[in-house]
Amino acid sequence: MSVDTSAAQSPTIGVVQDKINVGILGATGTVGQRFITLLSSHPWFKIHALGASSRSAGKPYHSAASWKQTTPIPSSVRELIVHPCDPTEPHFRECTIIFSGLDAEVAGDIEAAFRTAEFAVFSNAKNYRRDPLVPLIVPLVNNPHLAMIPQQQALHNPPLKKGFIVTNANCSTTGYIIPIAALEKSFGPIEAIMVTTLQAISGAGYPGVPSLDIFDNVIPYISGEEEKIEWETLKILGGITENDDGLKVFDMHASHPLRVSASCNRVPVIDGHTECVSVRFARRPPPSPQQVREALAAYTPDAQALGCPSVPRHAITVHEEPDRPQPRLDRYYQEGAGVSVGRVRQCQVLDIKFVVLANNVSIGAATSSIINAELAILRDIVSR
């Protein structure tokens, strides 16, 4: 299979005349490092402030970070001084957007403080995903959920003018929900999903899983992961409606009940989550495997049409080979910003089954947050 590794060309790439200052929280961690790699050459954003724990604060970034990326530390951030994750720090005060790669153990209070200080916070942490006022956005699926932000600001105490939090989904949810959304768009509601994940060790952060646990082994348990997939799917695929009090609420796919069963496994792969998915459609007869392949390949998310510069040219790459996708071969296609799907075939229990591969530290983490910020700019939620 020949592939085009060029990024999508954005027709609105000049919409931001002067680059917007951004800060990165958790800058020394795995996701923070990926933020730095992606943002260092971003056409709209300029890395202006880096935040990390007290043991890293005060050091130049190259001394504070144990760099684990395949490319060198960008020269633009190498000498930047790392600051405490405090919105009153002068360098953060000069930022408009904050990207959070913080660990969930500390993210909640810190992200809330930045929101209260009127920053636009785009978080990779899990802390606010269940919040009924916080959009849970997979940018290649449900960016209209950004419409919840004005209500989040209005109901905050005190009300906010610019501050808000947007979260992206769990990395395993993000990978498989993109093709699921494409199939619902083409063929209507899906009634049931069974998904089994083979998740890379980088999903556990650094230093991650002990070597004696993961070498020559598969660990059939990842704490909280199965529950995240099952409920996040409903919030992401659901719409927004009004309750009896006139407030916007997520309908959690209520227009057509959907059951999701997830089984999660940690495997000895560095990057790239593989997921085996079976689905049952509400429509009868269900689509054929060939119709499913065609629908997946043709899927064009709103973020592509709007002109987000970090959106991949192909949201879903469909493989015809019987042994693809594979993490080692396919995880960095389009810089990991899209997903790969292969082995589309009939399922003898449900209707259709297929295999998905997603780069868990790119579209499953940092890339999603960056595209979410681009969408907020294009939708005039964040000032240009």
Mean pLDDT of the chain: 94
Q: Give the model confidence (pLDDT) of 293-304 as tens digits.
A: 999 999 999 999
What is the third-level CATH fold of 172-359? Dihydrodipicolinate Reductase; domain 2 (3.30.360)
Residue 1 has pLDDT above 50, yes or no: no
Q: Please indicate whether residue 273 is annotated as part of the active site.
A: yes
The residue ranges of every structural domain in the chain are: 20-170+366-378, 172-359
pTM of the model: 0.94
Q: Give the model confidence (pLDDT) of 35-74 as tens digits.
A: 999 999 999 999 999 999 999 999 999 999 999 999 999 9
Give CA–CA dist 262/350, Å, rounded: 15
What is the third-level CATH fold of 20-170+366-378? Rossmann fold (3.40.50)
Please tell me which residue in 253, 273, 314, 319 is annotated as part of the active site.
273
Q: Are 309 and 42 in contact (CB under 8 A)?
A: yes
pLDDT score at 207:
86
Residue 84 has pLDDT above 80, yes or no: yes
pLDDT range class, residue 17, cuts 50, 70, 90? low
Q: Give the model confidence (pLDDT) of 265-305 as tens digits.
A: 999 999 999 999 999 999 999 999 999 999 999 999 999 99
Please tell me which residue in 171, 253, 308, 319 is annotated as part of the active site.
171
Q: Which residues contact 338 (CB under 8 A, 6 or more apart)?
A: 140, 178, 312, 313, 314, 315, 316, 317, 363
